[in-house]
């Protein structure tokens, strides 16, 4: 056998998977067709950010990644929800969900995706039993009861006991295995970029609801002496496309208005990226010698920092099964258990986040009024509020 595990996909989930399995002693190959862009201003850099919630941070620490990330991370002490759905764009309901209500730790820690890829790739270089091959893709998969054979884009073939598909929402490995998906389209697109602003964020993540989807500012370290935040702005598709093409001055005026001026005038501090918003879940999480994780298994709108944190729960579950029974790595028993362990939580969270996104899109004022009253009522009852926060961190409902 050439490898214990082959990971298809070298995004954040794939790189984390490689570090997790290699640190547990498994001989691991990780491939991705595109080398990671590890500079903020590099062509193709991923300008989105990832908020690692408490359970995810603990897992990253366990597998040796967190020591590389901690100094770059911005803690998220408060999650602020603002409803600005009235006749004019101004806050009418503002509720702060405080991490101190449920824990002595922050809700999570935020890091830029391009920096995550840089630090994670560096960590893989420190591990003796991982082979990371950026610029190489998986092109074919053949499985039988005892092994999988993976064909790579350089023409080579490797034998392995387990293939982990971390190759995105259009996963070639999932398609090769004939696993279908259920996809929900919202008619939305999201813009991602960084901004500076004169009013400090004070480690508060702020999600502003009006129409089209949330406008979310997530704290980043200061940039050139100015407070800085990452923004994800979800809008109906045609409006998002129009915003994407505005010149910088007009775009800054629009985003300052959409932020209700809560942080003062917003100044663009990066280029803009845009992508379609969907929810998606695979019909099943496994096939013979194959396990799906991350966006190969599930995609959700960027609400509540759930996406990658769901992905790390996939990875933690799969790694724990591998460690508990290494002689059964990749066999039917292991993969059936993985599916049972994860599928209910995935389906519940995809359904919940889909519903929240539908609510955030509301444009008719009477429905926006109902949304505001709902936020007020949920927040006002502390047991419900703390239960929602624990669910957001990954506790089972």
Contact assessment for residue 56 and residue 308, using Cβ atoms and an 8 Å cutoff:
yes
* The pLDDT value given to residue 300: 92
pLDDT, residue 369, reads 63
What tens digit of pLDDT does each residue of 125-147 get?
A: 999 999 999 999 999 999 999 99
Confidence of residue 274 (pLDDT cuts 50, 70, 90): very high
Question: 62: phi > 0 → left, psi -120 to 50 → alpha, else beta; which?
Answer: alpha
CB 103 within 8 A of CB 20: no
CATH topology of domain 3-34+135-183+287-359: FAD/NAD(P)-binding domain (3.50.50)
Name the band, by pLDDT with cuts 50, 70 and 90, for residue 396: very low
pLDDT given at position 388: 46
Domain residue ranges in the chain? 3-34+135-183+287-359, 44-112+187-277+364-396
**Position 49 pLDDT exceeds 90:** no
Instruction: Decide: pTM greater than 0.85.
Output: yes
* Dihedral of the alpha carbons of 198, 200, 204, 209, in degrees to the nearest 10: -20
Could you report the per-residue pLDDT of 164-182, keeping only the tens digit for each? Answer: 999 999 999 999 999 999 9
Q: Does residue 379 carry a pLDDT above 50?
A: no
Q: How sure is the predictor about 62, in pLDDT bands with cuts at 50, 70 and 90? A: very high
Q: Which residues contact 103 (CB under 8 A, 6 or more apart)?
A: 54
Q: How far are the Cα atoms of 9, 225, 246, 305, 347 from residue 179, in angstroms, in the given order?
A: 17, 49, 40, 26, 16
At 326-374, the pLDDT tens digits run 999 999 999 999 999 999 999 988 988 888 788 777 666 666 666 665 6
End-to-end CA distance of the chain: 41
Question: Residue 122: pLDDT above 80?
Answer: yes
5-26: average pLDDT: 96
Buried b / exposed e over 315-349, threshold 16 CB at 10 Å, is bbbbbebbeeeeeebbbeebbebbbebbbebbeeb
Q: Which fold has domain 44-112+187-277+364-396?
A: D-Amino Acid Oxidase; Chain A, domain 2 (3.30.9)
* Residue 89 confidence (pLDDT) above 90: no
Most confident stretch, 89-93, 107-111, 241-245: 241-245
Q: What's the distance, CA 135 to chain centroid?
A: 23
Name the average pLDDT for the chain: 88
Contact yes or no for 362/38 (Cβ under 8 A): no
Planar angle of CA 298, 105, 360, nearest 5 degrees: 45
- 100 pLDDT higher than 80: no
Cα separation of 199 and 264, whole Å? 6
């Amino acid at each position: 056998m050439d490898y214990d595990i082959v990971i298809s996909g070298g995004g954040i989930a794939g790189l984390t998977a490689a570090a997790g399995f290699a640190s547990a002693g498994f001989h691991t190959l990780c491939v991705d067709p595109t080398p990671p862009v590890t500079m903020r201003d590099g062509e193709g850099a991923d300008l989105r950010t990832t908020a690692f919630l408490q359970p995810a941070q603990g897992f990253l620490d366990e597998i040796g990644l967190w020591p590389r990330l901690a100094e770059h991370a911005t803690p998220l002490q408060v999650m602020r929800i603002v409803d600005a759905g009235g006749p004019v764009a101004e806050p009418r309901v503002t509720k702060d969900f405080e991490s101190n209500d449920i824990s002595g730790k922050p809700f999570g820690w935020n890091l830029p995706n391009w920096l995550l890829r840089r630090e994670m790739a560096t960590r893989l270089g420190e591990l003796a039993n991982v082979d990371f091959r950026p610029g190489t893709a998986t092109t074919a998969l053949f499985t039988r009861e005892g092994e999988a054979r993976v064909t790579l884009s350089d023409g080579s073939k490797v034998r392995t006991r387990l293939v982990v598909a971390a190759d995105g929402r259009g996963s070639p490995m999932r398609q090769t295995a004939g696993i279908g998906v259920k996809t929900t389209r919202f008619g939305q697109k999201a813009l991602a970029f960084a901004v500076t602003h004169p009013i400090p964020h004070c480690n508060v993540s702020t999600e502003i609801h009006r129409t089209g989807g949330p406008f979310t500012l997530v704290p980043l370290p200061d940039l050139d002496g100015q407070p800085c935040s990452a923004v994800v702005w979800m809008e109906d598709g045609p409006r998002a496309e129009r915003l994407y093409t505005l010149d910088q001055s007009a775009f800054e005026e629009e985003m300052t208005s959409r932020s209700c001026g809560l942080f003062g005038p917003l100044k663009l501090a990066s280029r803009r990226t845009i992508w379609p918003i969907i929810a998606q879940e695979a019909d099943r999480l496994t096939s013979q010698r194959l396990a799906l994780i991350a966006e190969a298994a599930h995609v959700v709108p960027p609400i509540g920092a759930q996406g990658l944190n769901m992905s790390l729960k996939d990875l933690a579950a799969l790694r724990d099964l591998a460690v508990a029974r290494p002689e059964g790595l990749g066999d039917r028993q292991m993969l059936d258990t993985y599916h049972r362990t994860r599928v209910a939580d995935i389906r519940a969270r995809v359904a919940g986040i889909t519903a929240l996104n539908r609510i955030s899109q509301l444009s008719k004022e009477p429905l926006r009024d109902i949304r505001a009253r709902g936020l007020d009522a949920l927040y006002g009852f502390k047991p419900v509020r703390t239960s929602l926060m624990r669910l957001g961190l990954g506790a089972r409902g």
